[in-house]
């Protein structure tokens, strides 16, 4: 578990091969937050730079469906990004575990439209997510809200950057890879 001054860390909600994400809240006003930190206790310089780049990129994005960063801290030598928490579940979780409420066609179309609107706003700010997979799309089935998360490999682009990319350097999840990466 991590410790962050001024915050209560409640539990681990996600762990990848590089990062851990915890749920908690800011003590002063009970604002729900998530904490994203690196998995390894002694992260490489590249891992630290990537997390710092993600922090800066999210900080610069200005859209309600992108939860804003609140700050960054350090715990035991590992950087931590603190972000507003989204109340919902990942699209991946809904698709894999439909339970009593499978995703109906009308609801799926509604979410698809919202996802493309949010992605359009991200692209308007010259950012390519590069890992838009169901686990990085959060939805709230009660109110229809959508949130895109995990900008760990996202990048800024300009018209000059749109050249052919070496296929050995592709980033993201191949079945979901964006046309911007494949050329």
Q: Which residues are catalytic?
A: 131
* CA 80, 81, 85, 90 torsion-angle sign: negative
DSSP structure class, residue 86:
P
SS (H, E, C) 8-75: EEEEEEEECCCEEEEEEEECCCCCEEEEEEECCCCCCHHHHHHHHHHHHHHHHCCCCCCCCEEEEEEE
């Amino acid at each position: 578990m991590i410790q962050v001054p001024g915050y209560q860390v409640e539990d681990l909600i996600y762990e990848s091969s590089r990062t851990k994400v915890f749920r908690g809240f800011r003590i002063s006003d009970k604002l729900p937050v998530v904490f994203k930190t690196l998995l390894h206790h002694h992260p490489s310089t590249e891992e630290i730079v990537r997390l710092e780049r993600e922090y800066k990129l999210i900080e610069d994005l200005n859209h309600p469906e992108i939860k804003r960063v609140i700050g960054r801290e350090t715990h035991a030598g590992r950087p931590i990004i603190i972000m507003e928490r989204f109340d919902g579940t990942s699209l991946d979780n809904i698709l894999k575990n439909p339970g009593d409420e499978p995703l109906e066609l009308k609801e799926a179309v509604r979410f698809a439209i919202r996802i493309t609107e949010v992605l359009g706003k991200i692209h308007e700010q010259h950012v390519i997510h590069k890992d838009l997979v169901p686990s990085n799309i959060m939805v709230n089935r009660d109110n229809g809200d959508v949130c895109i998360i995990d900008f760990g490999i996202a990048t800024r682009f300009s018209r000059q950057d749109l050249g052919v990319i070496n296929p050995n350097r592709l980033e993201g999840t191949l079945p979901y890879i964006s046309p911007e990466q494949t050329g």
